Amino acid sequence: MTGATWTRWVLALMLAVLGVQAIDLDISSEDSVKDAASTAAYGMMKHYKGNLTGEIPGKIPNTWWEGGAMFMALIQYYHYTGDSTYNSEVITGMQWQSGDCDYMPSNWSSYIGNDDQMFWGLAAMTAAELDFPDSTEGYSWLALAQGVFNTQVARWDNSTCDGGMRWQIWTYESGYTMKNSISNGGLFQLSARLARYTSNATYAEWAERIFDWAVSSPLVSNSTWNVADSTSITNDCTTQGDDQWTYNYGAFLAGAAYMYNYTNGTVSKWYSATHGLLNVTLSEFFPTSHGGEIMSEILCEPLEVCNDNEIIFKGLLSSWLAFTAYLVPSTYSQILPKLQGSAVGAAKTCTGYGNNTCGVRWWNGTWDGWSGLEEQMAVLSLFTANMLPFTSASSGPLTSSTGGNSTSDPSAGTGDSNNDQKTLSKITTGDRAGAGILTVVFSVGWIGMIAWLFMG
Ligand X SMILES: *[C@@H]1O[C@H](CO)[C@@H](O)[C@H](O)[C@H]1NC(C)=O
- CA 131 to chain CA centroid, nearest Å: 18
CA distances, 380 to each of 113, 133, 182, 235, 370 (Å) = 25, 20, 22, 41, 16
Contact between 92 and ligand X per CB under 6 A: yes
For ligand X, the closer of residues 43 and 448 by Cβ is 43
According to the binding rule CB under 6 A, does residue 326 interact with ligand X? yes
Binding-site member from 21, 38, 222, 423 for ligand X (CB under 6 A): 222
DSSP notation for 136-184: SSS--HHHHHHHHHHHHHTT--TTSTTS---SBSSTTSGGGGEEEHHHH
- Shortest distance, position 2 Cβ to ligand X, whole Å: 32
Own/partner contacts of 184-187, CB < 8 Å, gap of 24 or more, are 184/210, 184/213, 184/214, 184/219, 185/214, 185/220, 185/227, 185/248, 185/251, 185/252, 185/255, 186/114, 186/115, 186/118, 186/119, 186/121, 186/122, 186/251, 187/114, 187/118, 187/149, 187/152, 187/153
Q: Report the residue number, 38 or 263, with the smaller CB distance to ligand X.
A: 263
Q: Output the CA torsion 220→224→229→232 (10° steps).
A: -60
Half-sphere exposure of 40 (CA within 13 A, CB side): 36
Residue 218 one-letter amino acid = P
Site for ligand X in 49-88 (CB under 6 A): 51, 56, 59, 88
Minimum distance of ligand X from residue 371's CB (angstroms)? 6
From the CB of 393, what's the least distance to ligand X, in Å? Answer: 3
Q: Distance between CA 236 and CA 439 in Å, rounded?
A: 29
Residue 329 binds to ligand X (criterion: CB under 6 A): yes
Helix (H, G, I), strand (E, B) or coil at 241: strand
| Residue of 442, 456, 455 lying closest to 175 (CA atoms) | 442
Q: Is 229 helix (H, G, I), strand (E, B) or coil?
A: coil
DSSP track, 361-385: -TTSSS--S--SHHHHHHHHHHHHH
Task: Indicate whether 365 belongs to the interface with ligand X (CB under 6 A).
Answer: yes
**Residue 134 interacting with ligand X (CB under 6 A):** yes
Q: Is 191 in the site for ligand X (CB under 6 A)?
A: no
Q: Is 42 in the site for ligand X (CB under 6 A)?
A: yes
Burial (Cβ within 10 Å: 0-12, 13-18, ≥19) of residue 185: buried
Q: Does 276 bind ligand X (CB under 6 A)?
A: yes
Q: Which is nearer to ligand X, 179 or 275 (CB)?
A: 275
Given the rule CB under 6 A, which of 7-15, 214-222, 236-244, 337-345 is the region that contacts ligand X?
Answer: 214-222
381 binds ligand X (CB under 6 A): no
Residue from 61, 241, 244, 269 that binds ligand X (CB under 6 A)?
Answer: 269
Nearest to 350 by CA among 340, 336, 331, 364: 364
Binding segment for ligand X among 19-27, 92-100, 314-322, 427-435 (CB under 6 A)? 92-100
Calpha distance 248→128 (Å, rounded): 23
**Choice between 5 and 158, CB closer to ligand X:** 158
Cβ–Cβ under 8 Å, residues 22 and 337: no
Interface with ligand X (CB under 6 A), residue total 49
Q: Between 6 and 431, whose beta carbon lies closer to ligand X?
A: 431
Site string for ligand X, 162-181 (x = CB under 6 A): xx------------------
- Give whichever of 174 and 321 is closer to ligand X, judged by the CB atom: 321
**Is 107 an interacting residue with respect to ligand X (CB under 6 A)?**
yes
Nearer CB in complex with ligand X: 10/393: 393
Is residue 233 involved in binding ligand X (CB under 6 A)? no
Compute the least distance from the CB of residue 101 to ligand X, in Å: 13
Contact status: 265 vs ligand X (CB under 6 A): yes
**In angstroms, what is the minimal distance from the CB of 451 to ligand X?**
26
List contacts with ligand X (CB under 6 A).
42-43, 46, 51, 56, 59, 88-89, 92, 96-97, 105, 107, 134, 158, 162-163, 200, 202, 215-216, 222, 261-265, 269, 272, 275-276, 279, 326-329, 353, 355, 357, 364-366, 368-369, 393, 396, 405, 407, 410
